[in-house]
Structure 1
């Protein structure tokens, strides 16, 4: 078995010289754009679910430091943070549904509104809104 039979896109020709690989070729008419992933939908769902899961974990772990360092984080604010974390976990499990991406965007807006309860929630909201925007960008690039 030659090296070209093993690898459909060899990086070297038989003499050992590098072979130029087509990069960024546009798909021809009627052919879908290939991302190079075996299952692009699954990869994008994993990105969204991972982002929301990480957000839930950070929200839950942030409660105590906010109370100790940041000062006045009342029961209503703690309840709001826990509710947002639970919503993020639920949405992470429902990423197969198209509406879950929109609901994730709404969740980021709600976390930004949590900044009215405590300034640190606004900071977390900005960070995770930017991360979610990046996840949406990656989704749009991969799935088209």
Structure 2
């Protein structure tokens, strides 16, 4: 569980930074009001950071998955978010799946190790 939390938190923190910077890039490229761009990207970044800190709770992984969908949907207001959201949704799923595999392999090593080994 520890590795999954670390990897998924890393994805969320990275996503928070990229979402915020995507908003900065989108400001001159979109005809959406600047305040809307700031709200969409700012709330997305804040949600990513808050969830990264809450990953000790099982429900936070579900919330992180919902957040990925919401960030993709924010592309309706800021077009670049379609791409950014899709990339980070793929990273989120990959981090979740690969971390579970690593933990399963480590658990197998723990079970196979003789009781006397330290």
TM bucket, shorter chain: 0.7 to 0.9
Match in the other structure for 2:98: 138
1:142, CA displacement in angstroms?
A: 2.9
Give the Å deviation of 1:61: 1.6
Counterpart Cα distance in 2 of 1:102 and 1:139: 16
The CA RMSD over aligned residues, in Å, is 1.4
Between Structure 1 and Structure 2, which shows a larger proportion of helix residues?
2
- If asked which structure has higher relative contact order (CA below 8 Å, sep 6+), I would say 2
- TM-score, length-normalised on structure 2? 0.80
What is the aligned partner in structure 2 of residue 94 from structure 1? 54
2:79 counterpart of 1:119: yes
Structure 2 gaps, min length 5: 105-118
Match of 1:72 among 6, 31, 40: 31
Task: Determine the C-alpha separation between the residues in 1 that align with 2:94 and 2:31.
Answer: 32
Counting matched residue pairs gives 103
Unaligned segments of structure 1, at least 5 residues: 1-40
What is the TM-score normalised by the length of structure 1? Answer: 0.66
